[in-house]
Amino acid sequence: MHTRFSRPHMNSLLLASCGMLLLSNSHTKATTTQEEVNRFPIVKCSMTPSAYERILMTTLRDIHSTREQFRNAANKLIELLVPKVVECLATTTINIQTPVAPCLGEILSDTLQLVSVMRSGDVPLKVFSEHFTNAPINKILIQRNEETAEPIFKYMKLSPTLAQATKVIIVEPMIATGGTLALLINLLKKLGVAEENIIIASICAAPEGLEVLSREFPKISVVVTVIDVCLNEKKYISPGIGDFGDRYFGT
């Protein structure tokens, strides 16, 4: 898969990219292959994006996409993340009756809670809460120090039954350094959430962030649409999509 950028932007992208990308001739390869991804056992989904996901990712990445196009592509990609997360959940067989005949059906048997890392997490939160309509919504605000990229805890409002959930789904569109998520997971664990019950749902991840999460929390699950090449020196995912929140919210 290739990213599509105008030449002036492409030059700055290459300059801002990781060392290995400077060697590439014109356009950078956007994502890693399934074999490269196999080194992260916490990633619990196939890393072969569908044609539709590749098309939507192109809109999300393209600097020329309008806000409307960006939002539309982001919302659709998040819709496509939901079934990948459902694959990580427990289901149970039930007997039902159709208007015509009795038959076997299937329902979710996990007790779910959603955790949104504000503000970007509020975008997938909306979609996920429409699918998991009963799941309590937990909110946490962790901001990055602009200079050091260190995460700083600011605010949280959590459900009193969080620790009883059999699956806690953290929605976070971008996994960059993994620092914010590491802080959040440590906090959830202190509150009694079992590491193996945590699922992170994300659109785009950097290998560096997955490395940190794999090392510190080997029992979590990560469901992600694409894994990009690397972080640049400003800790942005490269080639990435830029700042998700800024592009989605326009603020």
* Residues labelled as active-site residues: 144, 148, 243, 246
Stretch that binds ligand URA, among 71-79, 102-110, 212-220, 240-248 (CB under 6 A): 240-248
Under rule CB under 6 A, residue 236 binds ligand URA = yes
How far, in Å, CA of 85 to CA of 228, rounded? 20
Question: What is the amino acid identity at position 107?
Answer: I
Least Å from the CB of residue 16 to ligand URA: 11
In angstroms, give the least distance from the CB of 119 to ligand URA.
10
Amino acid at 36: E
Kindly state the helix (H) or strand (E) to which residue 60 belongs, with its residue range.
helix 51-61
Q: Is the CA virtual torsion 244, 5, 67, 246 positive or negative?
A: positive
Q: Tell me: does residue 21 bind ligand URA (CB under 6 A).
A: no
Using CB under 6 A as the binding rule, the residues of this chain from 91 to 150 that contact ligand URA are none
Cβ proximity to ligand URA, 136 vs 245, nearer residue: 245
Among 174, 198, 213, 223, binds ligand URA (CB under 6 A): 174
Cβ neighbours, 10 Å, residue 159: 17
Count of residues engaged in binding ligand URA, rule: CB under 6 A: 8
CB 104 within 8 A of CB 93: yes
Which of the ranges 89-97, 155-163, 189-197, 239-247 carries the binding residues for ligand URA, by CB under 6 A? 239-247
CB nearer to ligand URA: give 193 or 200: 200
> Which residues are bridge partners to 228 per DSSP?
31
Task: Give yes or no for residue 243 binding ligand URA (CB under 6 A).
Answer: yes
CB nearer to ligand URA: pick between 57 and 174 = 174
Member of 200, 210, 240, 248 binding ligand URA (CB under 6 A) = 240
CB atoms within 10 A of CB 25: 6
**CB nearer ligand URA, residue 70 or residue 236:** 236
Residue 110 and residue 90: Cα distance in Å, rounded? 6
- Residue with Cβ nearer ligand URA (135 or 226): 226
Q: What is the Cα 2 distance to its own chain's centre?
A: 21
CB of 240 to ligand URA, least distance (A): 4
Q: Does 176 bind ligand URA (CB under 6 A)?
A: yes
Q: Does 181 bind ligand URA (CB under 6 A)?
A: no
Q: What is the DSSP letter of 65?
A: -
Quote the tokens at residue 110. 């996990």
Which residues does 167 contact at the CB level (< 8 Å), separation at least 6?
A: 88, 89, 90, 110, 111, 112, 113, 197, 198, 199
Q: Note the residues at the interface with ligand URA (CB under 6 A).
A: 174, 176, 236-237, 240, 243-245
